[in-house]
Amino acid sequence: MDLAVMQSYLPLYRDALFLTLRIGWQGVFLALVFGLVCVIILHLKIPVLKTLTGFYVELFRNTPLLVQLFFLYFALPRIGIRMTPEFTGCLGLGLIGGAYMTETFRSGLESVPKIQEESAQSLGMTPLLAFRHVILPQAVASSVPGILANVIFLLKETSVFSTISLMDLMFTAKDLIGMYAKTIECLVLLVIFYLIMLLPVSVAGSVLERRLRHAEFGD
């Protein structure tokens, strides 16, 4: 393993890491927004919107991100809808993440006792206010472990961005291997930079989960 070669590749991997992080976290933000909107629709049980939301969740949870990106980037231009690779990656990650976040938030909602909503309404709150101020905060707190697992999953899914010509970490590694055949060096750097990207999230998530558990049980 040639350390000098690895050192010379570091700037390329650094730039790829910044690109991957930027698009990845933008996608995570979109996923959270989509998930919250969808779970509110499901909770309010608006007939047509509930059906459409259920279809969206099942569609994106049961198809790979790679297929979704191909559809967005290669199929939509056939009908005149063109997007940049960065926007496609962000939107694709947000859509698949939103489906998973919806299920996570829904599980959180189901963990909130029904008496909470009934008590809030008995105090004069409308169903919407009760949901916003009483039910949703508890549901989100209960959903934290699932949310963190989804965030890590989504950041790992950025590895398929290379298929739509985004200069992410995977694209950089494959490109350098193809040009210089330094397979071991490129793959070791790839692993290191994915750890740099994901390990802090995993550690922060574990710490947050422990604090929430202690706050809940008073351990």
Predicted confidence (pLDDT) per residue in 2-55, tens digit: 778 888 889 999 999 999 999 999 999 999 999 989 988 887 888 889 899 989
Look up the pTM and report it: 0.85
Q: Is 216 helix (H, G, I), strand (E, B) or coil?
A: helix
The CA distance from 180 to 23, in Å, is 27
CB-based burial of residue 217 (10 Å sphere; 0-12 exposed, 13-18 middle, 19+ buried)? Answer: exposed
Interatomic CA distance for residues 29 and 16, integer angstroms: 20
Alpha-carbon span 199 to 210, nearest angstrom: 17
Q: What is the DSSP letter of 81?
A: -
Q: What phi and psi, each to the nearest 5 degrees, are found at residue 46?
A: -75, 115
Instruction: Tell me the residue ranges of DSSP E strands in 71-127.
Output: none
The pLDDT score that the predictor gives to residue 214 is: 64
Tell which wins on pLDDT, 90 or 138.
90
Q: Would you say 206 and 149 are in contact if contact means Cβ atoms under 8 Å apart?
A: no
Name every residue whose Cβ is closer than 8 Å to that of residue 56 and which is 6 or more positions away in sequence: 38, 98, 99
Q: Answer yes or no: is pLDDT of 100 > 80.
A: yes
Structural domain including 70 reads 3-217
Query: 3-class SS at 65?
Result: helix
Report, as an integer, the average pLDDT of 66-84: 91
Q: What is the CATH number of the domain that holds 208?
A: 1.10.3720.10
Q: Are 88 and 57 in contact (CB under 8 A)?
A: no
Mean pLDDT across 152-158? 91
Domain count, the chain: 1
CB 193 within 8 A of CB 16: yes
Give yes or no for a contact between 75 and 145, defined as CB atoms under 8 angstroms apart: no
The count of other CB atoms within 10 Å of the CB of residue 80 is 6
